[in-house]
Structure 1
Amino acid sequence: MLDTDWSEGWRGAFGIELRAEAIGLAWRGWPVLPGTYPAGDDGDRAAEWSRPVPAHDDWRERLGAHPHKVASWWTGSPYSLLVATGTVLDAVEVDDEVGRRAARLLRVQGAPAPIVAMPNGRWLFLTTAADRLPVALAEDDSVEWHGAGGWVPLPPTPFEHGVVHWRVKPEVWGWRLPDAASVHDVLARALHGPTSDDTPAPSSAQELLAVGRSAA
């Protein structure tokens, strides 16, 4: 069960925000799709809901729909917000400890990636689409790659025990997705534990972050 009160009022407020986010992402070319939600859902899957999955069996055929069509999907239904992976973007899912290390390393480099945090303690690092995952990541059981044929939830999607939220918003770096290989390298380094590169970012990195924000 959700710890969050999924009342009619709460659902209505988040439904408006979910619809607005879906439309905005669709205008930017992100392949968004409706996902299941914890109460008032259609179909047998609602009773066993713990995390969102595509709300429609034909979700692959819906990808790339015009934003006006996307808006109609969320009209009257507070669907979760999902984005398909494997074309425009991929996502690499790691645990909280690795996620924090990787985020620090990216800040030091002055190149933050869009990062999503889920209430189950898992982090999603969004990148450009890739055709494979490096061996160091692929062989680690704590790492999950969301590539072709997959999807991930985006804020403010309701989740078991809370709501999905941004750790680093896409607009921080002007909506430019980071190169997959570069983020994979950082995540591989983060898997090995704290390094000297985890020291606080120097002022030059902070200046780069400011530039990224001004470009958003």
Structure 2
Amino acid sequence: MLDTDWSDSWRGAFRIELRAEAIGLAWHGWPVLPGTFPATDSGSGQWSGPVPVHEDWADRIGAHPNEVAGWWAGERPYSLLVATGKVVDAVEVDVELGKRAARLLRATGHPAPIVATPDGRWLFLSTVADSLPERLAVSGDVRWHGEGSWIPLPPTPFQHGVVHWRVKPDVWGWQLPEASAVHSVLVRALEQTANGVDRTQNFAVASVAA
């Protein structure tokens, strides 16, 4: 993918869209936060992704939508982050595992909201969990975003593309799936990846029978 052109016009367009998305998410009760932006925060080295712009970001979780609107009201563009561990959790995986898990979730008839980043990571959103199953926790390519963490949401820009939805939350009425259900599907997908097989059809039949 070609480098994204972060000219003033691009930054202005993204600033408006990011502000609108941030306000909308805040009205749905999601704890959004402003994050760093690649065009203005990569001068000291390679930009590896957005982080909260406020050091006291944890104290700002749950801000009213009007306050959220004020964060994005200036000329400086901010990425869109959501704090995890309060309303929403996320499990981050690679593309291969993400595609397998997405197929399994579709087979159940209840897909989870899924975010994809330009650097090849998929984020499966769910309700908040106390822990991650051991099978996922010991996998070196799975990362759990719980309390004390955050994730980027669309349309947050990276240097080589833009974060986008694979499955939007409004498709399912903004009802996050239970963390245990998402974790279970991710474990199955991880086992399939390890074994190099695809049992999606069998899983669909078993789900219907249950």
TM surpasses 0.5: yes
- How far does the alpha carbon of each residue in 1:69-120 deviate from its partner, in whole angstroms, 9 at most, with x for none? 1000001232000000001010000000000000000111100100000011
In 2, the alpha carbon distance for the partners of 1:39 and 1:198 equals 45
> In structure 2, what is the equivalent of residue 211 of structure 1?
none
Match of 1:59 in 2: 57
Residue matched to 1:83: 82
Equivalent residue for 1:195? 198
What residue in structure 2 maps to residue 102 of structure 1?
101
Measured on the aligned residues, the alpha-carbon RMSD in Å equals 1.8
CA contact (8 A) 1:90 1:130 kept: yes
Residue 47 (str. 1) matches residue 44 (str. 2): yes
d(CA) in 1 for partners of 2:21, 2:28: 11
Structure 2: 5+ residue stretches without partners: none
Alpha-carbon deviation of 1:197?
Answer: 1.9
The match for 1:167 is 166
Distance 2:154 2:87 in 1: 18
Question: Is the Cα–Cα contact under 8 Å of residues 120 and 160 in structure 1 kept in the other structure?
Answer: no
The alpha-carbon deviation at position 160 of structure 1 amounts to 3.2
Distance 2:122 2:200 in 1: 20
Change (3 A) 1:97 1:28: same
The Cα shift of 1:200 comes to 11
Q: Distance in 2 between matches of 1:127 and 1:59?
A: 22
* Kept in 2: contact 1:94–1:122 (CA 8 A): yes
Paired residue for 1:27?
A: 27
Structure 2 counterpart of 1:79, one-letter code: Y
- Between the aligned partners of 1:159 and 1:40, the Cα distance in structure 2 is 11
Deviation, structure 1 residue 11: 0.6
Do the aligned residues in 2 keep the contact of 1:104 with 1:198 (CA within 8 Å)? no
- Cα distance in structure 1, aligned partners of 2:130 and 2:49: 26
Residue by residue over 1:143-183, the C-alpha shift from the partner in whole angstroms, topping out at 9 and shown as x without a partner, is: 00000100000000011311100000001111000000000
Structure 2 CA distance for aligned equivalents of residues 196 and 138 of structure 1:
23
TM-score by length of 1: 0.87
Cross-structure match for 1:13: 13
CA contact (8 A) 1:37 1:46 kept: no
SS at match of 1:47: coil
Q: Which residue of 2 aligns with 1:208?
A: none
Q: 8 Å contact 1:19–1:78 — kept in the other structure? A: no
| Structure-2-length-normalised TM-score | 0.90
Q: Aligned residue for 1:212?
A: none
Counting matched residue pairs gives 199
The alpha-carbon distance between structure 1 residues 201 and 63, as it changes in their structure 2 partners (threshold 3 A), is same
Unaligned residue ranges in structure 1 (runs of 5+): 206-216
CA distance in 2, matches of 1:115, 1:146: 14
Aligned-residue offset at 1:196? 2.3
Q: Which one of 71, 74, 79 corresponds to residue 73 of structure 1?
A: 71
User: Shift in Å at residue 62 of structure 1?
Assistant: 1.0
Structure 1 residues 80 and 46: CA distance shift in structure 2, 3 A = farther
In the alignment, is the contact (CA less than 8 A) between 2:104 and 2:203 conserved in 1? no
Distance in 2 (alpha carbons) for counterparts of 1:200 and 1:6: 44
